[in-house]
Structure 1
């Protein structure tokens, strides 16, 4: 069985391949997942990334192992190992929790369940795009952060999916693209996807965002999410909180776009969201070039959390939500 839409994943003939997003935009490089440890390394190094796609990759790899005849207990242990690979992104836990009950039902059932979750994400992306489309006015100048298109999802994306849907609708959006430190996912991936979609855009350094707001150059901020707590507090790529504070100060609407699989009703709020602490080499080195003295201590969180009271609304596959109380189970 194969996936019914080309994405940053390939699942065919019992193998899982991922498009190495570290190599983009320079080259397209597909890697075959060789082991559980290999997939964990690919997730941690952001070769495969995006909360939805990480979860999908994890369940598809369990299907690979089930087809290889791995014993039930070993499948369950693998699921637990994969669960720890990206602590902030709750989609990973949600999808594993949904496939775990079928791990004892045979390879065909595991594969069918994994492919169904892939197809579900395709539909979720389309639903988010339609729910968010009314937010976009003709010629609107939109600021986005990190990468939220087809690369980190099974479908057209979340925040970027809304923007490309607006382009298709003839609304002519213009996008300010944050470079998104430390791994430049905005510069490398968002600009890459916007160019492919024919959306007008301009890349900016992260620290220039305040000047854009002050000059009245931003009409809307639209970003994704890795976890939405029960009170609406939302974790996203580090730098998002700064944009939310600026948007509040300058009176610019600030919206989150994410599937319901990103909601964690068991998480009460910001303090309960684990934040991944990434290797300092990401900011101290550029390839082999040393940017800072070798013994420099760094603060390199992968994410930050935006309080619900700074968020204008959440665009989900269930529609536009403006009341954070809607996330309480």
Structure 2
């Protein structure tokens, strides 16, 4: 188990998804941590490609990106905006079917657009609803961070999997947002981040985000989790979720089930941190 190098924080805010000057911008996560590059998504196909290739990932961030992409579709349609948005929603909905936030966001924006009485009103409705979804995500993340951090007693040693920070939500993060808040408030004493194979979201993205927030951590392989729990090095496990079913069952990154079973065996609290938009009452 190697201690991650304590690189200096950039101390600059980063926006994984942003609407600026009438354009949708995305922090390309496939280039992190070596390069920080924002790319424009000027078409629905640009957005679909970004979701499919994981330039953006994390269920809430995908939903926010897709919502803005419908605003792009509306703005670029010379006429027939409602039909253009419906077609764009079908295209985007096929990119990541496991992320329930995606369909939720698409349905919200398309529903607002369908109520519009003119093309101009439809364009305005699409962008307004996308911005509302983004603002609600930021508010939800801040609320989850405070509520989640309050669950930890002082001295908590927390283990997490994959990436669940701002990169994953376009806000403050779900599980990682809780961890950052727990560190800032003095409740968390140590953070163990799983590298998360095969795409290494923990090693590439979570490590990068923790450095941006000046939170010290150790990067571990998932195979070390059992021995660390058995030796008392872990006192809480926190992850996010792609989908939460009506009965509370959770779908998430491969490896989450393993950690849940290990935590139960060792009597360690296991928490899922997810916004309402991740709940799927139909499953």
1:160-213 Cα offsets, whole Å, 9 max, x none, are 111111122133431110000111000011111112212221000111111111
TM-score, normalization by structure 1: 0.77
TM-score, normalization by structure 2: 0.89
Q: Quote how far apart the aligned CAs of 1:49 are.
A: 0.7
1:32-43 pair list within 5 angstroms: 32-43=40-51
Q: Paired residue for 1:131?
A: 147
Higher relative contact order structure (alpha carbons within 8 Å, sequence separation ≥ 6): 2
Task: Find out whether 1:191 has 2:207 as its counterpart.
Answer: yes
Q: Paired residue for 2:257?
A: 241
Task: Find out whether 1:99 has 2:109 as its counterpart.
Answer: yes
**8 Å contact from structure 1 (residues 14, 67) kept in 2:** no
2:27 pairs, out of 19, 33, 45, with 19
Q: Paired residue for 1:121?
A: 137
Q: Paired residue for 1:79?
A: 89
Instruction: Give distance in 2, aligned partners of 1:15 and 1:173.
Output: 41
Count residues with an aligned counterpart. Answer: 263
1:121-200 pair list within 5 angstroms: 121-200=137-216
CA root-mean-square deviation: 1.4
Q: Paired residue for 1:280?
A: none
Which deviates the most, 106-115 or 69-78?
69-78
Instruction: Give distance in 1, aligned partners of 2:97 and 2:39.
Output: 23
**8 Å contact from structure 1 (residues 136, 173) kept in 2:** no
Q: Quote how far apart the aligned CAs of 1:74 are.
A: 2.0
Q: Quote how far apart the aligned CAs of 1:100 are.
A: 1.2
Instruction: Give distance in 2, aligned partners of 1:264 and 1:88.
Output: 11
1:9 pairs, out of 5, 12, 17, with 17
Q: Paired residue for 1:109?
A: 125
